[in-house]
Structure 1
């Protein structure tokens, strides 16, 4: 029997706040180098919530029904004939974007900047909140035995943080300020500590987030004040005993006041990395950046080696992503999970399934093959 007859329940966005569950055909392998993965767990990202809330992010507009989700882990249930690195039954973290592999950015090692990137849950491409997902084998990362599938679903946001911290070139003994204590900000702080930063300061406007940051990885925390950016930066430096500013400042919030504060909080000759996305245009303290000869960089998703390092950080115990999980909900409760994330009730919530058990996932297709 054809595997395509197996159940493939998917969580689909039609338009803002209009979602449905639909049983779609199981996708077939498109290449001899592809694998078919049964999705076990999926995390909810801020971009997923934004599409659910607004139906668009910038010029990416949901025009046709689209499956949401891109932070997933699952179990390999079918492999193409040329696949050498994976086998049926392997548990994998999915890197949800596939480049063309031929353009200048791809060939120069920056495939995350590929203009032809096919990224999950970014119009017009469907996401991973579905039963089965086809992916190139080299964008599926086998999980070590001591890394769970739940942790595997958090490799995607951790890889984002790894890329940001690598852009900052954080080295042992440095001081790092991270603006924003959402999931990516928290993971940036954790990765900075894993890279050897001796002082990591988390900044946010929500006290509960900062309390978690202190228990999770940060050496210092600061609740941002509604004062001019220069004053806010001065307060952060004083609170964290960084009179000359931090070696590295990462903005993981995308908020204009946070970005302005960042440039005043970084030391002369220091490094600033923009990891969070916000408004397309903001007022930026260009004088501070110039006078201090700050090295400023952007950061977009993740690139070569970031997923591998993220998995190693979890497997070694250097970053405990399990602490970020506020709860796990059943697949049929996916919309409720989106509401909880929107309301700020959770740090990271996982949606189980629809193939959260290997034996169920394998049987669903194998029995019909």
Structure 2
């Protein structure tokens, strides 16, 4: 995600390429050479790993859902778009990996804008679809009979379009203000003229990327868990553990990065040696950013591969390509054993909302 320019210290921050450091931009002499060397090795390695794992995991989710599109429901539509947004996100990482390695942007101004904007759009879209899936689960479990009729495929398509448009709207300043440095043509960075736009991305990243989705998860799941604990299902404890994992993993992966971004905005007011503070914050953003990006590799596991039905579909498709892969004999959570009464059917519906 692209950053801002601190007018007090004239230091350009580019969070999608934070490894781009220039001592001339620092107000006081401060040796940052070791950060260059660290980023040159650390970021390409992490970005490459995230790209490979994220592409395989999310690509597999997209492949399975496309193959079984005739059985699509609202949950599948959200899951498809979540994987698609994560794919868009990881597809930008090879560009930033190369940029961090050679410290020179060679792909031109158009790709600079497109890559940075797509990176931001993929991030926000992924976050928003996690929010949508959380609210959808809340509706299914808490307001089933009142709102179930609105969970149609048409509603899913309309909702998906709205989420993508919102993500593009939030990321529009990145498309507009990110460009290649005209003087040397070697840097790709976010450099608006207005101070408001300079700080825009940090506030949107903190509010829309962390605080809002985290609050939605906490509020919705705190209502869902008591309902789950009262149903008659052998799967309820597994579902509760999954819910807790979703919330905790999201917070652990994204909170350190957003806190680091916020501290860079407030660094002029922080006590201590400015050079040491500068080094610490830059290193913190570099490490926490790379750590946060790995979250897109976990989304397929948390939202898709935990389901027996989904895994059965995966094995069926893989078996067509690799015949010797054994088929799973585990039963679906929608198995008839959960449908012996209306109460048990309700329990099956609730649990299958989380692990299909």
TM range (shorter): under 0.3
TM-score by length of structure 1 reads 0.23
Larger helix proportion, structure 1 or 2?
Answer: 2
- Larger RCO (CA within 8 A; separation ≥ 6): 2
TM-score, length-scaled by structure 2: 0.24
- Greater strand proportion: 1
